[in-house]
Amino acid sequence: MVIYPDIEILDGQCVSLSRGGFGDPDVFDITPAEAAMEFEQAGAKWLHIVDLDGVFQGGRHNADMICEIIKASDIPVQVAGGIRTIFAVHWWFEHGAERIVLGTAAVKDQPLVVEACARYPEKVVVSVDAQDGYVMIEGWRTRTAFTAIELARYFEQTGVAAIIYTDIDRYQNLPESSFAATTEMGTELKVPIISTGTVSSLNDISSLKYLPNISGVIIGRALFNKVFTLEEALAIAS
C-alpha cells in the first residue's frame, strides 16, 4: 500500500481544512517546498499536492510553487485542485506532473474524463468525495444526486488509473463513521482505490492495509500535526 503524503496549499501556505471549507484552516509552520523535501527525505515514493484555491475557485493559483516542487523532487507528484478543462490537463503534464486528479470537473464534465484518459493512459485519477453515500463537489459544498458507488463504477469504465475515495463522514469524525464505505468501494470495484480522510492514527493504516483493493492512502493532517512520522506510516504500510 502506497503512502501519499498530502500537501494542501491555500494562498501559498500548507494548511488543513477540517470541514472542507475556508473557515478557520489550520496553517502549518512550514512551506510547501520544505514539506515536500522532508517527505521525500523520509522515504516517500509519491507526493500528493492540492491547490486548494483551485478547488474553490477553479484554475491555477499556486501553480508556480507546485511546479518548483515538481522540479526539485526526485519522486513523482500527483496534482489536484482546479483542473477542469482538457487544456489544464495538458498544462500540468507539460509542467511535469506524473498524474493529475479530476474532482468537481469529473462530475460536471464526464466527457472530460474520457478524453483525458484516452490521451494520457494510466495518468488520470478521479476523486470521489462522499457524504452519507452521495458525491459532494466544489469543496464539499454541493451535494449531487450520484451515489459514490455508481459514479465510481462509471469512471472505472473510462480507464482511470485509480479512484481517490474520500469518506467525508469519517474525516469529520462523526460518531457513526467506520471503514464500511471504504470497504464497500474496494470490494465493488476493480480499479485501484486510494483512500483519504480515513487516517488519524497508525492503527487506521493497519486497518486499511488489509481492506480489499486499497492500493494507497493519502495522509496530511496527521503527519503535519506529528501524530506519527512518515517513517512509521511507511513501515506499517509495507
Q: What is the DSSP string of 3-25?
A: EEEEEEEETTEEEE-TTSSSSS-
29 carries an active-site annotation:
no
Query: Could you count the other beta carbons within 10 Å of the beta carbon of residue 114?
Result: 16
The cell numbers describing 173, all together, are 469524525
What are the start-end ranges of the E strands in 138-175?
142-147, 162-167
**Which of 6, 40, 129, 204 is flagged as catalytic?**
129
Question: d(Cα 55, Cα 52) in Å, to the nearest integer?
Answer: 5
Choosing from 6, 8, 40, 138, which is the catalytic residue? 8
Is 129 a catalytic site residue? yes
83 neighbors 61 (Cβ within 8 angstroms)? no
Q: What is the DSSP secondary structure assignment for residue 189, as one 8-state letter?
A: -
Residues taking part in catalysis: 8, 129
